Amino acid sequence: MAKPTPKKVRVDFRKNRQITTRQNNLTRQVQSEASEIETTHRQQRVSGKGALTRRRTVMGEMGADDSVILSVNESVCLRGRVLSAVGSTQCTVRADDDQPQAGRHFECTVRRVVRTVARNARNAVVAGDKVLFLPGENECGVIERVEPRDGILARGHQHKQHILVANVSQVAIVSSASEPPLKPALIDRFLVSSAKGNVKAIIVINKCDLIDVSDLQPMIGQYSRLGYSVVPASVQTGLGIAWLRRLLKNQQTVFTGQSGVGKSSLLNSIQPGLAIKTGDVSRITQKGRHTTRFAQLRELDFGGWVVDTPGIRQLELWDVHPAEMEAWFIEFRPFVPRCKFPDCLHMIEEGCAVRDAVRQDLISQIRYESYLRLVIGDD
């Protein structure tokens, strides 16, 4: 099938500097503060409104997620997968198996046009991205285009979307039974984020050697009834490691969770050859110390790929509005149509079928409280 002819696309480009906006009330300020006239700033620019973007025409097409798919000369480029991305310019790319230099790693920069095309994202290139890159000498290269993403894990960061990893099929949400303490509310946040990114979720409760596992049965049963795989695990005893290998086989999996829960230690147990650096939890704060500095894609000997990500202490959901939060809580779905009001937020409204289900123990009180915190924006 013939490829579509590239078209001219008008896009917003980020500028690398901002012009200071002129103060429109300077005259009134001087008149009202005559005694301060000697210290008034006199070098106001007359032009410029301080806009951070400008319009430019590029060759390409618009993707389904409003990203720009740039037109490049594919005959001189190689296809590959980003193994790691540090900042916005340094990336390690592995050439795809069907390419002339299959399996080789290239240290790539990112073409400026790729970096400056405006996106609702913090980084232009992230671990897991499928890219076209121009190979150079000494295993270096330049990324010319990022392909459309599918299966992402993202969070909000300074009013932008921060994509942690792209093109994964499942996320392993790692928590710990102790040191640091178990946080069901954080698990629920990750469940919402993974569902929003169209990624299957697995819940892993690590460090089960520190507690009586029977104490976790109510929580395990709660999430299992909702259809999630819940894996009690321990690096010290080997509990759950074989189960995790089966779940990871031939999948694209990202390991995520707060610092100190043992993500890297679990991956080292699943495949010892990975040799990922690990750290301890602070005895004073009971919080983990960052040992993984950036997301990195790693191949598994038994098939599949895993991504180890830096620890997250807080997860700000991206592009999830309070009115649509109910859709990401699976157990709410049978009851939502029975609410008296179609715009019910299930908080204080009369005739709310969801609240009635909570009172009848048909919906977990803990899950309902997580929902309320997410709706009102309480971190």
Q: What is the pLDDT of residues 88-145, one digit of tens each?
A: 678 999 999 988 888 999 999 998 888 877 555 667 899 999 999 999 998 999 999 9
- The rounded distance, in Å, linking the Cα atoms of 142 and 109 is 5
Domain end, chosen from 146, 181, 209, is at 146
In a domain, 316, yes or no: no
Specify whether 114 is located in the same domain as 130.
yes
Instruction: For residues 240-257, give the mean pLDDT.
Output: 96
Specify whether 163 is located in the same domain as 304.
yes
In a domain, 58, yes or no: no
Question: How many residues does the structure list for the chain?
Answer: 379
How far from the centroid of its chain's Cα atoms is residue 254's Cα? 10
pLDDT exceeds cutoff 60 at 30: no
In a domain, 53, yes or no: no
User: Is the separation of the CB atoms in 219 and 228 below 8 Å?
Assistant: no
When pLDDT is cut at 50, 70 and 90, the band that residue 229 belongs to is very high
- What is the model's pLDDT at position 6? 63
Specify whether 134 is located in the same domain as 271.
no
- What is the model's pLDDT at position 51? 47
CATH number of domain containing 137: 2.40.50.140
Specify whether 165 is located in the same domain as 279.
yes
pLDDT exceeds cutoff 70 at 14: no
Specify whether 112 is located in the same domain as 78.
yes
Single-letter code of the amino acid located at 133: F
CATH number of domain containing 349: 1.10.40.50
In a domain, 36, yes or no: no
Domain end, chosen from 265, 281, 308, is at 308
In a domain, 13, yes or no: no
- The rounded distance, in Å, linking the Cα atoms of 252 and 297 is 9
* CA angle, 167 then 169 then 173, to 5°: 110
Structural domain that includes position 165: 153-308
In a domain, 81, yes or no: yes
Specify whether 243 is located in the same domain as 351.
no
pLDDT exceeds cutoff 80 at 22: no
Number of domains in the chain: 3
Specify whether 220 is located in the same domain as 301.
yes
- Alpha helix stretches (DSSP H) within the chain: 26-32, 112-116, 184-196, 217-225, 241-248, 263-270, 353-359, 365-376
Taking only the tens place, the pLDDT of each residue in 162-210 is 899 999 999 999 999 998 999 999 999 999 999 999 999 999 999 999 9
In a domain, 335, yes or no: yes
Specify whether 136 is located in the same domain as 245.
no
Domain end, chosen from 122, 146, 170, is at 146
Taking only the tens place, the pLDDT of each residue in 72-86 is 888 899 999 999 998
Predicted TM-score (pTM) of this structure: 0.80
Specify whether 77 is located in the same domain as 102.
yes
CATH number of domain containing 217: 3.40.50.300
Specify whether 164 is located in the same domain as 247.
yes
Specify whether 158 is located in the same domain as 182.
yes
Residue with the bigger pLDDT between 117 and 52: it is 117
pLDDT above 70 coverage of the chain, percent: 76
In a domain, 269, yes or no: yes
Using left for φ > 0, alpha for ψ between -120 and 50, and beta otherwise, residue 238 falls in left
- Between helix 184-196 and helix 365-376 the angle, nearest 10°, is 60
Specify whether 303 is located in the same domain as 350.
no
